[in-house]
Chain A
Amino acid sequence: MSAAQKVVVARDPEVELRESGLTINHAKKTFTSAEGKEVHAIDDVSLAIHKGEFFILLGPSGCGKTTLLRSIAGLESLDAGEIYLGDQRIDPLPPYERPVNTVFQSYALFPHMTVAQNVAFGLEMEKKPKDEIAKTVQEMLDLVHLGEFGGHKPHQMSGGQQQRVALARSLAKRPKVLLLDESLSALDFKLRRQMQVELKRIQRETGITFIFVTHDQEEALSMGDRIAVFSKGRPEQVGTPEQIYNEPANRFVADFIGDINFFDAVKSGDGVITVEGVPFHVKQDISNLPDGAEICAAVRPERIELAAPDDTALQGTVETVVFMGADVRCHVRLSDGTLLLVRISPPFDTSVLYQGATVSVHVEAAHMRVVER
């Protein structure tokens, strides 16, 4: 973490917003599908994105995240709602008047122009002097490590390189907000990892607000300062990666991010839930739920511990044990039929952990999240 980023986090978000954060108020967008059905692509979305933040819109395909991004870019017009950049309302503006640029999923590089001409295009639109354009183009190409490639045509370059050209082309405009639409999804796994690190570096160095759309939760967790998890046109939860992972707001978020186990449970008292007759004292505030409410307890696989059979704990049978290198993944069947995924880091006790073994399942109550059933 660089010092610059810490400063950004430390500043008052309200001040940031007034400076040039992006605010979305009650945005709505409805499409009519081919069958004549109305689809709420964006369903009353309100978001506040801070200045200099790496913000991620995460969700399954068709959840409206790309539509929202295109609305910010001006390529899609909202049915209702407003978008502000700082104090300036930008949603009525045409795309070419918004201080916002997009890196497209398909890169959308102009095939008849060289790499340098592509990067220069946006600057030529601003009628900048020629020598200044040339200087900025070189700076931007250097920033994405393509300084030598200015004379190449896009088709002569690899997917990863084209990706970086598209990035340089958008950054050259010095946008207040950079929008990235599934920008890494066309790259192979290794290149993707590299570009994730690269994007973080560029975002830190330029201090530009990044809004990044992805359906890949690992990508979201590893890159985002904050994440908005989308489903069916609205954000289910907005928070830091830690919050999203450790304190999912509801079942959808818990299920969408990473692996998770759900236990059927019942609220049995103040801060107490009962799973198969075993009480757990959860840390989460559940005072708003009535006693006897049927709920779910969500637990990450790495938060479960297995031990020798013990009458006071949950009982289960080990069904499979899979060695994964860094850890071991087991499936444990509880007596009520629930199948649990458990991830155990070495060292572990092989006398307890083998296929067909009866084990007791221990969960620290602090790591249990109560969500709706």
Chain B
Amino acid sequence: MSNTTNPNIKSDKPPIGNDKTGTIAAETTTVVSKNATASKTSAPKETAWQHWFGSPHEVKPGLLHRAYAVPSIIIGLLFTLGPMCVIVAFSFMSRPDMGGGVKFQFSTDAYEKLLFRHDFFGNRFFDTRYLEVFGTSLWQALLTTVVCVALAFPIALWMSMKSAKTQQILVLLVTIPFWTNLLVRTYAWMLILNENGPINWAANLLGLGKQQLLYTSFASVIGLIYTFLPFAILPMYSALSGFDFRLVEAAYDLGARKLTVMRRVILRAAMPGVMSGVALCFIPAFGSYVQPVLLGGGRVLMVGNLIASQFAEARNWPFGAALSTVILAITLLGAFLATALGGRASRKAGMTL
């Protein structure tokens, strides 16, 4: 490190990146641990604070001490785990006598409602209505995922074979949909699919007659596929963009034909991307809300809509929270299964969930 850079570092940061890194790192640690309460009693022994946030290594020149990460970790945890904790907690509470919200009283009613129904006399019946909603959601999400991945793989492969400059442009093109709000884009689909839209106009010209496209589960799936296709393309592309196409030549040279090369070499390399793509399509599609409402016209009831209606019209917050918790559990289960069943590639993807 040259002498000219050191004063700059000193001026706006605590003294790190000095030649005597070891001593300064030690100083920073002690200063920090004095702020923590535990350090007074057992000075030479490692405090809890030091255990979690103290670095076992010297702070390298140009790097900040690990403690600097704490605020962002706290904010990150609040924003990710915080809402989930609230939802899980709410799902185990009771419904107030009137209106929305929750009563702070433990109850499993919400989960019971998922599977059972009480008739007028208080008898319990097994109820499949909500399971059917889960089934529809699962089916639509699976369909979306399969189509997205199947479409995305050739696109990602094609992109990764282009020159570096073209690749940049193509990635930009893939991300173009994100520039506009999802609602606006979904309304655009309503225009395309409606009775007097371009598709029906073309169908009419061909003598096929007008088709009811909008407000069907077909329209809902089309909307889902459209929405999540970029989420399948991007991770696959990123897995393939670093792919060494000389491996393809090597495989040909060793006697492999096209399909074998595709299956055993290219697809293998794309696998982490495929798994991430599956996760990124399936999870949000499973809980999707906009497309089933706007394009499916409410005829297709999916978990997302059910949850929304519990918080809005039905004013049954614990039940809405319970539904969300079940989705969370299913997703986690899927991730664990992928990790347990899949090889190393899918394990990598499992970590990204």
Residues of A within 8 A of B (CB): 73-75, 94-97, 101-102, 104, 106, 108-112, 121-122, 125-126, 169-170, 173
Whole-angstrom distance between the Cβ of A214 and the nearest chain B Cβ = 19
Q: CB-CB < 8 A to B253: which residues of A?
A: 73-75, 95-96, 101-102, 170
Whole-angstrom distance between the Cβ of B261 and the nearest chain A Cβ = 9
Q: CB-CB < 8 A to A95: which residues of B?
A: 249, 252-253
Measured between alpha carbons, how far is A109 from B252 in the docked complex, in Å? 13
**Do B256 and A96 touch (CB < 8 A)?**
yes
Residue of B nearest to A107 (CB): B250
Residue of B nearest to A127 (CB): B255
Mask: chain B, 254-272; 1 = CB below 8 Å from A; 0 = not: 1111001000110011000
Main secondary structure of the interface of B (DSSP, over half): helix
A125-B256 contact given A108-B249, A110-B265, A112-B268, CB 8 Å threshold = yes
Tally inter-chain residue pairs, CB-CB below 8 A.
59
**Do B246 and A104 touch (CB < 8 A)?**
yes
Measured between alpha carbons, how far is A73 from B246 in the docked complex, in Å? 13
**Do B249 and A96 touch (CB < 8 A)?**
no
**Do A104 and B249 touch (CB < 8 A)?**
yes
B244 within 8 A of A: yes
B78 within 8 A of A: no
Measured between alpha carbons, how far is A74 from B344 in the docked complex, in Å? 34
Which residues of B126-142 have CB atoms within 8 Å of chain A's CB atoms? none
Count residues of chain B with CB under 8 A from any CB of chain A: 19
**Do A169 and B254 touch (CB < 8 A)?**
yes
**Do B254 and A173 touch (CB < 8 A)?**
yes
Measured between alpha carbons, how far is A126 from B255 in the docked complex, in Å? 7
A108-B268 contact given A96-B257, A125-B260, CB 8 Å threshold = no
B247 within 8 A of A: yes
Contact of B246 among A96, A106, A121, A125 (CB under 8 A): A106
B102 within 8 A of A: no
B222 within 8 A of A: no
Measured between alpha carbons, how far is A109 from B250 in the docked complex, in Å? 8
Measured between alpha carbons, how far is A101 from B251 in the docked complex, in Å? 10
Q: 9 smallest A-B Cβ distances: which pairs? A: A125-B255, A122-B254, A108-B250, A95-B252, A96-B255, A108-B246, A102-B253, A125-B256, A112-B268
**Do B269 and A125 touch (CB < 8 A)?**
no
Residue of B nearest to A98 (CB): B253
Whole-angstrom distance between the Cβ of B214 and the nearest chain A Cβ = 45
Q: CB-CB < 8 A to B256: which residues of A?
A: 96, 121, 125
Residue of A nearest to B345 (CB): A112
Contact of B247 among A94, A102, A108, A170 (CB under 8 A): A108
A106-B255 contact given A75-B249, A112-B269, A125-B260, CB 8 Å threshold = no
Q: CB-CB < 8 A to B255: which residues of A?
A: 96-97, 122, 125-126, 173
Q: CB-CB < 8 A to A125: which residues of B?
A: 254-256, 260
Task: Give the most central of A75, A110, A122: most B CB within 10 Å.
Answer: A110
